Structures are given as C-alpha cells and as structure tokens.
Amino acid sequence: MLQINCPWCGSRAEIEFTCGGEGDIARPTVTDTMTDAQWGDYVFMRKNPKGLHYEQWLHSSGCGRWFNALRDTVSYRFDAVWKFGESRPATVVTHVHTGGAQ
C-alpha cells in the first residue's frame, strides 16, 4: 500500500485517500457559445498519460481536504503534493521515500 503525504496531515496510508482524477481541468467560464465538441472535451476527454500525471486527491478518511499531486502512473510514486492556492513546485523537491512535502 502506498504512503501518501497529505499536505495538512503528513504521511498516511493510501486507504485513507480518494483519487479525484486528472487535475488542472478548468471549468469553462463562457459556456453559452460552447460547441458540443468543446463540452465533450471538457467533460469526458482525459490525458491518461503513461508517466507523470497531475492529479487531485482527497484525504477522505482524514482531514477531508483536497490537494494537488504529481504522480508517476508507471511507478505510482508521488513526486510532489501541494495545497490548492499554492503554486506548483518548480522542481520535484520531495517524494514519499524521503518523508514527503512540507
């Protein structure tokens, strides 16, 4: 089982978390002129990369708060976690093996 660092609570077992899927999907603000193709793309289409993936996670059985994560979809390693409102880490500074993000 993975150890995942909640930016608020620290390192906890994977079973406490819920993966919220791909992160950084902005809801369109001007919606009345959008085509079906644009709606379909926003609602359903996903990057689904083999490699690094920006995701959102929920510490559902812990503090109940959402956070951002950068995770490798092959090794499953979390390269970084950060709170909403914080800027994305410029470089990968921490990961689970060394105690996680601050």
Contact residues for other proteins, defined by CB under 8 A: 1-2, 14-15, 18-19, 21, 36-37, 39-41, 43-50, 53, 55, 71, 73-76
**Number of neighbouring beta carbons within 10 Å of residue 61:** 12
Tokens at residue 63, please? 């503090």
Nearer to other proteins, 30 or 43 (CB): 43
Specify the residue for token string 């959102």: 56
Q: How far is the CB of 1 from other proteins (least distance, A)?
A: 5
Return left, alpha or beta for 15; rule: phi > 0 is left, psi -120 to 50 is alpha, else beta: alpha
Q: How far is the CB of 64 from other proteins (least distance, A)?
A: 17
Nearer to other proteins, 8 or 76 (CB): 76
For residues 28 and 78, what is the distance between their CA atoms, to the nearest angstrom? Answer: 29
Nearer to other proteins, 46 or 83 (CB): 46
Q: How far is the CB of 46 from other proteins (least distance, A)?
A: 6
Tokens at residue 79, please? 């390269």
